[in-house]
Structure 1
Amino acid sequence: MPTVTLTKDLTLALSVRDRHASADWYAEKLGFTLLHHMDEAGWSEMQTTTPNVVLGLGEQAEPAPGNLVPVFGVADIATARAALEAEGVRFDGPTETIEGMVSTATFYDPDNNALMLAQDLT
């Protein structure tokens, strides 16, 4: 039995140089719909054509190629993180919160692939 209960939401997070240009590209080429630009957080979200799957675009000066990070939605990030840590899962620093928006925590699988938990605070 899993130690964490996930919501049915999945965000695929990519680092990009220019979120606005990337959002235009994904809308034009793949038919994704802009949900919002959060300029103060350097973050944009696009609804993909797959239900409950969102593409998140995080702005970075020099994004590394192949930098996709699956972000799994959880109802309570503190409970989910505690359950994974109790199972020996390694996290990268503390949980980060942008008040009124989201709390996130990055963790790693056995092959050192980055994954993330996110609790929607809106």
Structure 2
Amino acid sequence: MSLVSLENTITLSISVRDRHASAEWYSSMLGFELKHHIDEAGWSEMHTKTLGVTLGLGEQTEPKPGNTVPVFGVADIESARGAMEGAGVKFDGPTETIEGMVSIATFYDPDGNAMMLAQDLTVFA
């Protein structure tokens, strides 16, 4: 049995220079559909063709290709994080919350690969 109960979703987060241009590219090249642009957070999300898989576009001045971060959906981020930290998993700083949108926490696997937990707060909005 696992420490954390994951939702049936995953977001693959990548860094891009221009989220709006990238969203157009992913739409025209791969048929992904824009879910939303959150300009104040420098973030966009797209529905992929795979059920439960979202592509997240994080805007950065100098994106590093190949730096994809899987973001696993959880129902209760504090509970999930607490269980993982109790088992010795290293997290990068505190859980960050964008009110009414999402709470996220970055953690690392044993080889130092970054991953995130995310609790969708829009379901309560």
Shorter chain as denominator, the TM-score bin is over 0.9
Give the superposition deviation at 1:7.
0.2
Letter matched to residue 45 of structure 2: E
Letter matched to residue 13 of structure 1: S
1:1-122 equivalent positions in 2, closer than 5 A: 1-122=1-122
Give the superposition deviation at 1:57.
0.2
Structure 1: 5+ residue stretches without partners: none
Q: Deviations over 1:2-58 (max 9, x none)?
A: 000000010000010000000000000000000110001100000000000000000
Structure 2: 5+ residue stretches without partners: none
RMSD in angstroms over aligned alpha carbons? Answer: 0.4
Structure 1 stretches of 4+ with a deviation exceeding 3 A read none
Q: Percent identity?
A: 72
Number of residue pairs matched? 122
CA distance in 1, matches of 2:31, 2:39: 22
Letter matched to residue 9 of structure 1: T
Q: TM-score, length-normalised on structure 2?
A: 0.97
CA distance in 1, matches of 2:71, 2:62: 21
Q: TM-score, length-normalised on structure 1?
A: 0.99
Give the superposition deviation at 1:65.
1.5
Q: Deviations over 1:74-102 (max 9, x none)?
A: 00000000000000000000000000000
CA distance in 1, matches of 2:36, 2:4: 28
